[in-house]
Structure 1
Amino acid sequence: MILGLRENLKGTVVISIIVLFFILPMVISGVGSSWLSSVAGTDAAVVDGETISNQAVNREVYMQKQRLLSQQGVDPSADYLKDENLRAPVLDRLTKKAAVIASIKSAGMAASDATVNTQIVAQKDFQTDGVFDPQLYRSLLSRIGSSPALYKSELVESVMLQQLDAGLDKSSFVTEAEKAALVEIIYEQRSFYTADIPVEGLAEGITVSDDAIATYYESNQAQFSQPEQLSIEYIELSVTALANTETVSDEEISTQYDLEVADFSSSAEYEIAHILVDKNAEDKDDRLAELQTKIAAGEEFAELAKVYSDDAGSKDSGGSLGVLLSGIFPEAFEKAVYLLEEGEVSAPVSTDSGVHLIKVVSKSVDEMPSFDERKNAIAAALKTAKAEEIFSSSLELLEELTFNSDSLDDAAAEVGAEVQVSSMFERSNGLGIASNAKIREVAFGDEVLVDGRNSEVLELAGNRAVVLRLKSHSPEHIKPLEAVTAQIQELIVENEVAAILTDKADAFIASVKAGSEANTLADDLGYGFAVHENTTRSAPVSDPTTRRAVFSAPMVQGVTTFEMNKNADGSMRVVGITSKKPGSIADLDALDITGLASQLTTENSRYEGGAFQANVIAGAEIEIH
């Protein structure tokens, strides 16, 4: 199937690279950031006999919504953020992924426990100070409605998809004709000259009448539209701000430290490595005996793992599995580790994945930090705890005092806060407090904008809360003529200068086409002139805008092609492209050719990967409920 796809795709790959057309890998759905319980009843879909649960779809919908809301300037009330509008594309993505997973499973792809476990302990999200933290791992998974088993299953699928990508990449190839075609374009050389028409003094001779300004204003009123804006006054409470005002005594800190000492229980952390022997290997017993003999003789465990281990995911790193995580490794494997001291190697341990020789690379036992080491952290925690109590009680009071009140002043005085005023902001963006999408949504809502009432108390991320009311409102309107007269005058002058420069450029090009020498003509007219011979796309000559114009312009060999562009200083540039020469492999050294072939091979595999996935999805049995 892959070969057939390649035959159909080869003709378009080179052009695809030149125009930066990349086929993106299929998005792999992960775990979300909040628990969403499943909808009872039927599954959402069935793909090649495998079900996709409503729970999985709901969780991915939630995740997608959070990703979109995290972007700058997103309106939380927008229709595209509604669950019913997100569900269809999310389900489409999940069914496509499921089809690809089913296909590669049927092809015999899999991921070993050791490989997956190694990836889990290496993930920085699950580490504290660079070391895997089992408690953090379980806490994060629990917080997102997942579990070690579910997360491990999802990671297995991710590893298999990576295997698919790697297989396509390693099986891709590049023909000599493809390399030659790419070199012709990438290393093409063009010769050109530039003539710069100065802008100085052109604006001084232009006068703009009041009638011209009025006419421009009437014809272009959309340019002078002022979007609806408003400002708010608000009270903001935050645990952080309250904590900064709190104090704690040395006695309180000492008491808390004593409680920590009483609750502290030390636990051992094991950094482990293993050598895996396939349980079906014919020489299993001989290999194990040989390994035990070599280990007993003092040979390096890591070097033996590189030679003898059947675990492709860890053998190159000397069998390293990182820190032991309870619940991730098989029970027999864990029990064997707990019986070992640092530097010891276990007897053979059998699991479903094979027979292991396990080494405890290092063993560390937690020790209770000293009082001086914990003092500042305890003080900060105590201040935060006091602030949280004040914050909770202040929220209740703030709700009572601002409900049906026509001012925020009394409430601010009661809770010890200040009434602040924002700058003007729009529905889609704002500064300061208005940079928060939720604040903008409420400010432009009927309760605040139309009815003129105080908002409810809004709880924001970071233990912050805000109540707000309208300060001032400016409806969408066209700015009056007197407010934009100077702006219009500048625009008219700018347009007329541009027209003069264009006329001069057209006249220059016409003269050259009629037989005038470009350099002589430019000198006579006082234009800056420069010639660039056999220039490549990346050559540091002229400026990027000019080079893009030179190499994007279609041209016929032997006929000068003209382009015009405006320079940064406002002058007009005429570009005359006089010749082109295709690149040649003969002009490149072997290293450049190898690098180019490698890049082309990678892009081939990406392109083919997208086609492979599309082909699999088209042939899958997908039933949407």
Structure 2
Amino acid sequence: MLQDIRDRSKGWGAKIIVGVIVVVFALFGLESLGYLLSGSSNDAATVNGEGISRQSVDEELMRAMRMGQLPPGQEQAARGQFLDQLIQRELLSQYAHGGGMGFSDGQIDQLLVGLPDFHDQSGRFSSQIFLQRLAQIGHSPESFRAYLREDMVIRQLQDGFGLASFSTPSERSRLASLSNETRSFRYATLSPDDLGESPSVDEAELQAYYEAHQADYLRPEQVRLDYIVLDKSTLAQNIEVNDEELREEYARQAADVPRQVSDIVVSIDDQRDEAEARELVATIQSRLAEGEDFAALAREFSDDAASARRGGDLGSVTPGIFGDPFDSTITALEVGQVGEPILFDGALHLLKVTGLDMPSFDELRDQLADQQRMQRIDGEFQQLAQELYDQSFTADDLSSVAEATDLPLQHSEWISRDTDEAPFSEPGVMDAAFSSQVLEEGFNSDVLELGDDRRLVLRVAEHRDQETLPFEQVRDQVREAVIFEKNRSALAQRAEQLIESLRSGEQPSVDWQRADAVGRDAQAPERAVIDAAFSLPRPQQEGPRYGRIALEDGREVVIALDQVGTRDDAAAEGQIATSLRRVEAQSAVGGLFRELNERAEIERH
């Protein structure tokens, strides 16, 4: 059976290419379709001369979206992260193969046979379940075998580092003891409110603090900008669209999206010939026509035990994976319809489409309308963008450019290089504003592309250097800082006095809060308080250990450590040994990757 799947997988590329083209086009646009079909290089990166194709990146993105790991609309933002992962995988793969590591077809077969995800109800490998699972995650048998092979080679490498690491019994025992340690303590929080009146501050103190902390009152180098933004969505606002066009577009998109499919499988085998199978299917169709539930009939009659338990549910199926007649049947069905029986993979199938993996027309209407408007305005946008390029290149200002293009001239407030104000926080904008050509020579910037649908050109109107702000301008901020420091100092002194009283055996009035048997990984109280409690020495016979911690917000916490205990966790030492091996292996692999990355010739295109 596995050999049959292996042979058969060689022809699956033709079956999935149409589906891949459609999904790539829908998700990533015409450029992706161009490099998919062209004969030219389509590499997103090369690693030591080995290419990583843009198609590979797109496929990883599609799988992540299909499995719910990547929210819709985040594809472009995530491309760089997925490319980095593929580069790392390629580096480790090259190193492993260079060291003679490999995984044979036979080993892949054994691995596939043993994977529970591909087992039927009897616990045996099922080719039908295998193909269904692969369809759900966007793999063909051929691509999945290749992915699995590379994954196992890299795991061999990682496991080798793990096996090479070790820890002594005493190390494991000590770490287990530390991991299972608990601490019971009391703590009291002192805040500025406990000090009564706000401390007095005179002018000399303010001036002294200001002189000692001038770096805190630096105003960074700043510019005020004139700028013009060309935004396709703004141009598209007045474009009219009608419902008929939108419904046609919805239907076009719906034809290519994954469908929720249910299946009643009637096998043709030694116990049942095709005529008998068709007779049984006819009976099932008759009962469906009488109003019986498809899921109930699937549980009663379907020979695919795995899907029968779920009422025939196959999950999400992408057109282009299974091929005809499966795909042509489900694409022709409306939601809720049951198709005519088809002969496929040695069985008759009754297929029902139970849903589409896309929102309803009403939910998508506004989005579809925006898409239609953007498509219609594209020509005007490109023409206006070219005019913006031409006008801004030759003009000595932006006022004439705004007048020639009929676009508004806008003006910024004072902004610095690290501004988070839109659109200046977008990549490349402030680099252009502070470039020598724009800042020093006084030219208009190049027209900057802010994604596919916006263009921006800017000019520096005013510039001021970095400087320390004058005292009078920051006087209120200085006063707040001085009061904060005085309160912190007073609270620290009060905390020390309280600790001395407690150590001497006095019983001052303290509003204690208790924390019993707190582990290092506890979520409460605050992390800083837990860390401080674990930093204290163990209590002795003379009584608790006392300490204090200053929190970032100015509060002071006094801690009384009463008891050190141990959690009962017999498995901790074994878990720690495993964790140690994992950490050491990860550290070794991380070091290897850094070295490989430094030595490798990596080009991102």
By the TM > 0.5 criterion, same fold? yes
Which residue identity does 1:192 align to in structure 2? Answer: R
Query: For the Cα contact (< 8 Å) 1:458–1:467, is it kept in 2?
Result: yes
Query: For the Cα contact (< 8 Å) 2:260–2:317, is it kept in 1?
Result: yes
CA distance in 1, matches of 2:195, 2:402: 60
Q: Which residue of 1 aligns with 2:564?
A: 580
Asked if 1:502 corresponds to 2:492, the answer is: yes
Q: Which residue of 1 aligns with 2:418?
A: 428
Asked if 1:561 corresponds to 2:545, the answer is: yes
Asked if 1:530 corresponds to 2:522, the answer is: no
Question: Aligned in 2, Cα 1:498/1:305: closer, same or farther, shift over 3 Å?
Answer: same
CA deviation map 1:552-587 (0-9, x unaligned) = 5442454422221346985533221122333347xx
Asked if 1:388 corresponds to 2:378, the answer is: yes
Which residue identity does 2:218 align to in structure 1? Answer: S
Q: Which piece of structure 1 moves more, 195-204 or 436-445?
A: 195-204
CA deviation map 1:273-298 (0-9, x unaligned) = 47699xxxxxx954666996698286
**2:391 aligned to which of 372, 389, 401:** 401
Q: CA deviation at 1:330?
A: 6.0
Q: Which residue of 2 aligns with 1:192?
A: 186
Which residue identity does 2:562 align to in structure 1? Answer: T
CA distance in 2, matches of 1:258, 1:530: 67
TM-score by length of 1: 0.58
Q: CA deviation at 1:235?
A: 1.2
Matching of residues 112-123 of structure 1 within 5 Å: 118-119=132-133, 121-122=135-136
Query: For the Cα contact (< 8 Å) 1:566–1:573, is it kept in 2?
Result: yes
**1:232 aligned to which of 218, 225, 228:** 225
Q: Which residue of 2 aligns with 1:129?
A: none
Query: For the Cα contact (< 8 Å) 2:134–2:141, is it kept in 1?
Result: no
Asked if 1:244 corresponds to 2:203, the answer is: no
Matching of residues 36-435 of structure 1 within 5 Å: 38=41, 44=47, 53-56=50-53, 70=77, 91-93=90-92, 95=94, 102-103=102-103, 107-108=107-108, 109-110=111-112, 118-119=132-133, 121-122=135-136, 188=182, 190-194=184-188, 196=190, 200=194, 204=198, 206-210=200-204, 212-247=205-240, 271=261, 273=263, 285-286=269-270, 296=280, 300-302=297-299, 317=310, 320-321=313-314, 327-329=320-322, 342=338, 345-346=341-342, 349=345, 356-362=346-352, 383-435=373-425
CA distance in 1, matches of 2:353, 2:229: 49
Q: CA deviation at 1:455?
A: 1.7
Q: CA deviation at 1:247?
A: 4.9
Q: CA deviation at 1:70?
A: 4.6
Q: Which residue of 2 aligns with 1:550?
A: 533
Q: Which residue of 2 aligns with 1:483?
A: 473
Which residue identity does 1:506 align to in structure 2? Answer: E
Q: CA deviation at 1:322?
A: 5.1
Query: For the Cα contact (< 8 Å) 1:192–1:533, is it kept in 2?
Result: yes
In structure 2, stretches of 5+ residues that fail to align are 1-23, 62-73, 119-126, 160-171, 285-296
Question: Aligned in 2, Cα 1:531/1:413: closer, same or farther, shift over 3 Å?
Answer: closer
CA distance in 1, matches of 2:380, 2:89: 42
Question: Aligned in 2, Cα 1:228/1:154: closer, same or farther, shift over 3 Å?
Answer: farther
Q: What SS is found at the alignment partner of 1:437? A: coil
Question: Aligned in 2, Cα 1:241/1:347: closer, same or farther, shift over 3 Å?
Answer: closer
Which residue identity does 1:555 align to in structure 2? Answer: R
Query: For the Cα contact (< 8 Å) 2:183–2:533, is it kept in 1?
Result: no
Query: For the Cα contact (< 8 Å) 2:93–2:153, is it kept in 1?
Result: no
CA distance in 2, matches of 1:335, 1:429: 54
Question: Aligned in 2, Cα 1:385/1:305: closer, same or farther, shift over 3 Å?
Answer: closer
Query: For the Cα contact (< 8 Å) 1:199–1:572, is it kept in 2?
Result: no
Q: What SS is found at the alignment partner of 2:547? A: strand
CA distance in 2, matches of 1:455, 1:357: 67
CA distance in 1, matches of 2:256, 2:208: 82
Q: Which residue of 1 aligns with 2:445?
A: 455
Which residue identity does 2:469 align to in structure 1? Answer: K
Query: For the Cα contact (< 8 Å) 2:230–2:454, is it kept in 1?
Result: yes
CA distance in 2, matches of 1:295, 1:462: 57
Q: What SS is found at the alignment partner of 2:413? A: coil
Question: Aligned in 2, Cα 1:492/1:424: closer, same or farther, shift over 3 Å?
Answer: same
Query: For the Cα contact (< 8 Å) 1:186–1:583, is it kept in 2?
Result: yes
CA distance in 2, matches of 1:242, 1:459: 16
CA distance in 1, matches of 2:568, 2:577: 21
Query: For the Cα contact (< 8 Å) 1:208–1:489, is it kept in 2?
Result: no
Q: What SS is found at the alignment partner of 1:231? A: strand
Q: Which residue of 1 aligns with 2:122?
A: none
Q: Identity of counterpart residues, as a percentage?
A: 19
Q: CA deviation at 1:267?
A: 11
CA distance in 2, matches of 1:506, 1:376: 64
TM-score by length of 2: 0.60
Q: CA deviation at 1:418?
A: 1.2
CA distance in 2, matches of 1:533, 1:374: 52
Query: For the Cα contact (< 8 Å) 1:193–1:532, is it kept in 2?
Result: yes
Q: CA deviation at 1:470?
A: 1.1
Question: Aligned in 2, Cα 1:425/1:270: closer, same or farther, shift over 3 Å?
Answer: closer
CA distance in 2, matches of 1:202, 1:430: 39
Q: What SS is found at the alignment partner of 1:432? A: coil
Q: What SS is found at the alignment partner of 2:486? A: helix
RMSD of the alignment, in Å?
A: 6.3
CA deviation map 1:208-228 (0-9, x unaligned) = 453x55554444333233222
Q: What SS is found at the alignment partner of 1:581? A: strand
Query: For the Cα contact (< 8 Å) 2:299–2:311, is it kept in 1?
Result: yes
Aligned length: 498
Q: CA deviation at 1:240?
A: 1.4
Q: What SS is found at the alignment partner of 2:456? A: strand
Q: Which residue of 2 aligns with 1:14?
A: none
Question: Aligned in 2, Cα 1:59/1:458: closer, same or farther, shift over 3 Å?
Answer: farther
CA deviation map 1:242-292 (0-9, x unaligned) = 1223457x8xx98x799999x999999894647699xxxxxx954666996
Question: Aligned in 2, Cα 1:426/1:305: closer, same or farther, shift over 3 Å?
Answer: farther
In structure 1, stretches of 5+ residues that fail to align are 1-30, 46-51, 75-80, 127-146, 168-177, 278-283, 350-355, 586-592
